[in-house]
């Protein structure tokens, strides 16, 4: 009996999440897709939790069980926000598949660097999107045409560099060969640059 009620409440949560997300993206401005989707999922979880606390059919649950259900819905909201709109919005892998479909199902392998540099960056306004995300996250600031790390950005990059160098796979399959290239992508970076400020 409790399981059926939990499943029905969880179904309500999913419906509310989808409805709130659709309303948000259709009628309201969105600064960052991920943050927007998280907000929508949290709102849906809180509304579902309110129903679970107030409606008589859910009186069979103890307060502790209701808190557990709310936590499950919040975690589900986070997973949904990352797994669906954020992945589709940011994924280079989906872009490759969509680009292959757009180009009739096939692209010459040796021309993919052109696709990325001449089409992907422009079509997805990648620089604008990523700078907006970082501004909204508080990890960068832009002053007089110069993009600078904030203290929060420095802390985050210190963590990410440590994680990349020590906790990413040292033998990762990259087009048929195992490599540690992505544990230090700057290893072969160009030394002569003229774009710093």
Evaluate whether 52 touches 83 at the Cβ level (below 8 Å): no
pLDDT score, position 55: 82
Q: How large is the C-alpha radius of gyration of the chain?
A: 22
CA separation, residue 40 to residues 44, 114, 134, 183 (Å): 6, 37, 20, 35
DSSP conformation letters of 2-16? HHHHHHHHHHHHHHH
Residues 55-113 pLDDT 10s: 888 888 888 999 999 999 999 999 999 999 988 888 888 889 999 999 999 999 999 89
Residue 192 has pLDDT above 80, yes or no: no
* Domain boundaries defined on the chain: 2-90, 93-166
Measured at the CA of 153, the angle between CA 132 and CA 151, to 5 degrees, comes to 125
Residue 34: which of 79, 98, 71 has the closest Cα? Answer: 79
Band (43; pLDDT cuts 50, 70, 90): very high
Mean pLDDT check: name the lowest of 13-22, 38-47, 114-123.
114-123
In the chain, where does DSSP find H-type helix?
Answer: 2-27, 33-54, 63-81, 87-90, 92-102, 112-114, 121-123, 126-137, 151-167
What torsion do the CA atoms of 94, 33, 121, 197 make, to the nearest 10 degrees?
-140
Give strand pairing partners of 174.
Answer: 177
Percent of the chain with pLDDT over 90: 63
CA distance 69 to 105: 45
User: Residue 111: helix, strand or coil by DSSP?
Assistant: helix
Q: What's the predicted TM-score (pTM) here?
A: 0.76
User: Residue 142: helix, strand or coil by DSSP?
Assistant: strand
Q: What is the token pair recorded at 157?
A: 């990059």
Evaluate whether 149 touches 140 at the Cβ level (below 8 Å): yes
């Amino acid at each position: 009996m409790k399981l059926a009620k939990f499943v029905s409440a969880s179904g309500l949560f999913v419906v509310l999440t989808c409805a709130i997300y659709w309303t948000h993206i259709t009628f309201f401005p969105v600064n960052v897709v991920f943050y927007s989707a998280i907000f929508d999922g949290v709102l849906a979880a809180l509304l579902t939790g309110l129903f679970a606390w107030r409606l008589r059919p859910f009186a069979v649950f103890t307060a502790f069980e209701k808190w557990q259900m709310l936590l499950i819905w919040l975690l589900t909201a986070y997973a949904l926000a990352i797994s669906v709109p954020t992945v589709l919005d940011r994924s280079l892998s989906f872009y490759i598949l969509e680009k292959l479909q757009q180009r009739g199902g096939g692209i010459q392998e040796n021309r993919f660097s052109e696709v990325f540099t001449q089409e992907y960056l422009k079509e997805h306004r990648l620089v604008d999107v990523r700078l907006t995300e970082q501004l909204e996250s508080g990890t960068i600031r832009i002053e007089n045409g110069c993009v600078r790390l904030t203290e929060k950005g420095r802390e985050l990059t210190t963590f990410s560099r440590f994680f990349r160098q020590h906790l990413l796979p040292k033998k990762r399959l990259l087009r048929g060969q195992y490599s540690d290239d992505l544990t230090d992508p700057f290893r072969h970076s160009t030394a002569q640059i003229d774009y710093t400020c």
